[in-house]
């Protein structure tokens, strides 16, 4: 078995999907998990990007169906988490409106992130190496702070925290382990980016979201493809078992191998 075949098998990506069927499977997955957990609903952080938009649609369908089927009120809570002023926050609210979310909260992470970064810089100073937190380091602080806030809300409201990670992120390790990778369930995990877009079109995700360049929003101007140097077209083709250019293939497989620690549970002895 080639490395490509091994990766595809581990991530569970299909070469082709039926969007309607995949939506149904993933909604049922969320419903089953909610019932088994005896929790009151789902929490999804809505970034304004396509992944969280699709996940929001799946969550809302799941809680609406469960409420109707059981007579119990299950909710989907949409959480908006800007750092200061977020230029595209309107896209987050457009997603909530498109899926008729009635439960929404905005929690601005700027003050908390800046305080954490400042304390880290004090630590550097005490070590005799005065410096600022790196741009990437502060990006990771943002990801982890967002999760702290999500779990604080979820704990008292008895909600399941739903993640947006999918196979095109997993193959590159493009998530912060126990930051934005710290969630309870990931209903998109066996889809590649192209397939997420197929579900988005079927669900009716707003056009403004569909047209955006994928970004984790870790710093101004940051894009996934720019940071990784790998296009999502090549990424998705690879995960569908297709041949891609030798340079892109080598880069993708190198990224996969060097980020294995992000996909693995905490090791012990």
Q: Please, what is the angle between helix 3-11 and helix 246-258, to 10°?
A: 60
Q: Which of these is catalytic: 22, 91, 165, 169? A: 169
C-alpha count within 13 angstroms, C-beta hemisphere, residue 261: 4
Listed residue (151, 154, 137, 145) closest to 84, CA to CA: 145
Q: Which of these is catalytic: 51, 91, 180, 237? A: 51
Instruction: Give the helix/strand (H/E) hosting 168.
Output: helix 167-170
Residue with tokens 């952080």, as numbered in its chain: 45
User: Collapsing DSSP states into helix, strand and coil, what is residue 251?
Assistant: helix
Listed residue (88, 48, 105) closest to 220, CA to CA: 88
Q: Among this protein's residues, is 225 annotated catalytic?
A: no
181 touches 264 (CB < 8 A): no
Q: Among this protein's residues, is 51 annotated catalytic?
A: yes
Listed residue (239, 206, 182) closest to 53, CA to CA: 206
C-alpha count within 13 angstroms, C-beta hemisphere, residue 256: 20
- Point out the residues that are catalytic: 51, 169
């Amino acid at each position: 078995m080639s490395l490509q075949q091994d990766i595809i098998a581990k991530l569970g990506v299909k070469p082709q999907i039926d969007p309607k069927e995949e939506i149904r499977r993933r909604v049922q997955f969320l419903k089953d998990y909610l019932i088994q957990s005896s929790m009151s609903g789902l929490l999804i952080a809505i970034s304004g990007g396509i992944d969280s938009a699709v996940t929001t649609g799946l969550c809302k369908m799941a809680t609406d169906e469960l409420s109707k089927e059981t007579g119990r009120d299950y909710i989907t809570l949409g959480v908006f988490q800007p750092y200061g002023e977020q230029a595209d926050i309107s896209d987050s609210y457009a997603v909530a409106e498109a899926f008729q979310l009635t439960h929404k909260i905005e929690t601005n992470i700027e003050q908390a992130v800046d305080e954490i970064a400042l304390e880290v810089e004090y630590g550097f100073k005490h070590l005799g190496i005065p410096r600022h937190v790196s741009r990437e380091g502060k990006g990771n602080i943002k990801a982890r702070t967002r999760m702290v806030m999500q779990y604080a809300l979820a704990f008292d409201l008895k909600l399941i925290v739903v993640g947006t990670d999918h196979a095109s992120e997993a193959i590159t390790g493009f998530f912060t382990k126990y930051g934005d990778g710290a969630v309870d369930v990931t209903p998109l995990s066996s889809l590649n980016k192209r397939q997420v877009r197929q579900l988005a079109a079927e669900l009716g995700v707003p056009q403004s979201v569909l047209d955006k360049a994928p970004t984790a929003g870790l710093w101004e101007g940051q894009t996934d493809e720019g940071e990784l140097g790998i296009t999502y077209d090549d990424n998705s083709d690879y995960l569908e078992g297709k041949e891609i250019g030798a340079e892109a293939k080598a880069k993708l497989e190198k990224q996969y191998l060097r980020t294995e620690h992000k996909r693995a549970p905490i090791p012990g002895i």
